[in-house]
Amino acid sequence: MKKVILSLVIITATVFTSCKNEGKKETNTNNTEVSKEMATTDISFGVRGNCGMCKSTIEKATKNIEGVATAAWDVDKKKIDVSFDESKTSEMDIHKAIAASGYDTEKAKGDLDAYDGLPGCCKYDHNMEMDQ
């Protein structure tokens, strides 16, 4: 009986030791990946909208694009600043994603069905000025 218990203790210790080492390997791998820097392109362009809800929708549509690092829409200036990886997306893809959420940009008209689904406070004047 002592041999069986001793064997179980040794097996358990071996399992825990090997799991502990695997966790360390994963941590080292993740640190290496985090240190890689992404080359980004910065752009700014006009987007029509009115309020904080518009800001949330516009930024969410932009940030959901693979390769977009940051997106910030200025409610007062009607302008968005975007940083993105050109190897993963393009400026026109960003315009199209915002337009698909219902908002006009300098290069793309907002989808009318999506616009109709926006809350009342987000119904903007289609002729409003946008900073360029």
Q: What angle do CA 95, 110, 121 make, to 5 degrees?
A: 115
Please indicate, yes or no, whether residues 57 and 25 belong to a single structural domain of this protein.
no
Residue 80 is assigned to a structural domain of this protein: yes
CATH code at position 61:
3.30.70.100
pTM of the model: 0.70
82 φ, ψ to 5°? -130, 135
pLDDT at 132: 61
Least reliable range by pLDDT among 3-12, 24-33, 84-93, 121-130:
24-33
**pLDDT grade, residue 2 (50/70/90)?**
low
Q: What is the per-residue pLDDT across 33-80, written as a single tens digit (0 to 9) for each?
A: 433 466 889 999 999 999 999 999 999 999 999 999 999 999 999 999
Please indicate, yes or no, whether residues 65 and 105 belong to a single structural domain of this protein.
yes
pLDDT at 24: 44
Q: Which amino acid is at 84?
A: F
Residue among 105, 112, 108 nearest 132 (CA): 105
Please indicate, yes or no, whether residues 6 and 57 belong to a single structural domain of this protein.
no
Residue 129 is assigned to a structural domain of this protein: no
Number of domains in the chain: 2
